[in-house]
Amino acid sequence: MTAAVAPLLLAAAIGVWPADVARSRLRALQGDRTSPRTLRLPESGALAPVLLALLAWAVLGPAGAVSALVLAVLVRGASRRRRRMRAALVADDGLAESLRAMVAELRAGATPVAAAESAAEDAPREVAVMLRSAAAAARLGGQPPLPESSIAATQVVRVWQLATHHGLPLADVLDAIRVDLEQRTRFARQVDARMSGTRASACVLVCLPGVALLLGQTAGADPLAVLADTTLGQLLLLVGAAFAAVGLRWSEHITRITERPT
């Protein structure tokens, strides 16, 4: 029984493995160039919960499939939220660097339009679009449009509008936004690093029942047969998976950064 379960567990682990993050970052830099007529296949990560559920059905029956599907969806959702949080921090770093360059240009005597266009040359794509649109609107005498990418980018445009309307020193206000943004991102990374030990402990606690099952199977107690072939075993499997799911969700809730630092 153990020899048959090992390949299934290995296949399930490969299926749940996170998708390639480098491809998503490259698409973010290059923009979405996919033709509207192109058929988009689902990502491998989206099929992982279904694959894991099918494998669990073969080993542990219907209750195992339901339990595996719920846990896989929870793990995948938590992983996606952490990737989004890290991507938001990287985007905020790019915005802070662009603001630093723009403030330097303004203090060197450049106009806001010229400073924004100069900072947009080396800025990330979303920041560059925001700066160029604001510069184009200011050149035509209009108000820069409010971006929807982040709260910090919206603050930059609002400050630009207020500085233009009231004659405020734009460099000083933008520099204050940059300092605040850098402090927020630094604090968010510190909190995330301090919570890594707590997340690891929660992961170990959730995995302990599985380790106990493998040890019992190796010792000849055959707990997998009890869970898969008896009604009581199926009920206990569902109850145990429910406790594990609640533990995962609660541990993610108490270790997650409440909001984006912007």
| Residue 216 belongs to some domain of the structure | no
pLDDT score at 36: 44
**Predicted pLDDT at 104:** 93
In a domain? residue 43: no
When mean pLDDT is compared over 52-56, 155-159, 212-216, 258-262, the highest value belongs to 212-216
As a whole number of angstroms, the distance between CA 78 and CA 256 comes to: 10
Q: 248 CB contacts (<8 Å, ≥6 apart)?
A: 71, 74, 75, 78, 202, 206
Establish if 235 belongs to a structural domain. no
Does 113 reside within a domain?
yes
Average pLDDT score, the chain: 78
Q: Which domain holds residue 118?
A: 94-185
pLDDT tens-digit profile of 81-116? 888 888 888 888 988 999 999 999 989 988 888 988
pLDDT band at 182 (very low <50, low <70, confident <90, very high): very high
Q: Look at residue 107 and tell me if it is in a domain.
A: yes
Provide the domain count of the chain: 1
Q: What's the pLDDT tens digit per position in 206-227?
A: 888 889 888 998 888 888 888 8
Q: CB of 75 within 8 A of CB of 66?
A: no
Note whether 76 and 12 are within 8 A (CB).
Answer: no
pTM of the shown model? 0.68
Residue 61 counted as domain residue: no
Residue 55 included in any domain: no
Please answer whether residues 134 and 163 qualify as being in contact, where contact means their C-beta atoms are separated by less than 8 angstroms: no
Would you say residue 166 has pLDDT above 90? no
CA distance 194 to 60: 37
| SS3 per residue for 212-241 | HHHHHHHCCCCHHHHHHHCHHHHHHHHHHH
